Amino acid sequence: MNYLELFNESYARIVLDPQRVERLVAVFYDRFLARSARIRELFSGSDMEAQRVMLRRGLLTVGTFVTTGLRATAQMRRLAQVHQELGLTPADYLEWTDALIEALAEVDPPLRPEVADAWRVALAPAIQFMQLPGSVPEPS
């Protein structure tokens, strides 16, 4: 199996199970916020209940991006814009990915190392896209 197939299989098991996806985002934010004062500061003004709902949608947006041929959809552009306005660094995206992998290991165990790697490899184009200045349209 290649990385995209490994990712698809694991991703489908999560997103097709509403309880699992709900647990995933809840555990994710616990882990993510526990990682650093910087991350807690970024979310200090956020309604975390609303944020969990938005991340469920965001996971669908990035999952669709990577599984349907990397098209710059309106949702992906908006995700890029929101995150570029936050002034994030590549290290922030690494923390995000690490927290997601930790949450996956808790919510859908056992998480095999090659499946964790597959999530990293599969999400990389989405994370790259979110950081490209060209992903955000010029104001007209």
Part in contact with ligand HEM (CB under 6 A); list of ranges 7-15, 21-29, 35-43, 131-139: 35-43
Residue whose token pair is 């927290």: 99
* Residue 113 token pair: 């190392």
Is residue 58 a contact point for ligand HEM (CB under 6 A)?
yes
Is residue 26 a contact point for ligand HEM (CB under 6 A)?
no
Name the closest residue to ligand HEM (Cβ): 58
Amino acid in the structure at residue 13:
R
Number of shown-chain residues binding ligand HEM (CB under 6 A): 21
* Residue 58 token pair: 């965001």
**Dihedral (CA of 47, 48, 52, 54) sign:** positive
Task: Closer to ligand HEM by CB, 27 or 79: give it.
Answer: 79
Cβ density class 20-39: b for 16+ within 10 Å, e for less: ebebbbbbbbebbeeeeeeb
Is residue 119 a contact point for ligand HEM (CB under 6 A)?
no
Is residue 62 a contact point for ligand HEM (CB under 6 A)?
yes
Q: Pick from 12, 34, 70, 82: which binds ligand HEM (CB under 6 A)? A: 82
Q: Please state, in angstroms and as integers, the Cα–Cα distance from residue 59 to each residue in 7, 73, 80, 123, 140, following that order.
A: 13, 14, 13, 10, 29
Is residue 55 a contact point for ligand HEM (CB under 6 A)?
yes
Q: Pick from 10, 11, 92, 101: which binds ligand HEM (CB under 6 A)? A: 92
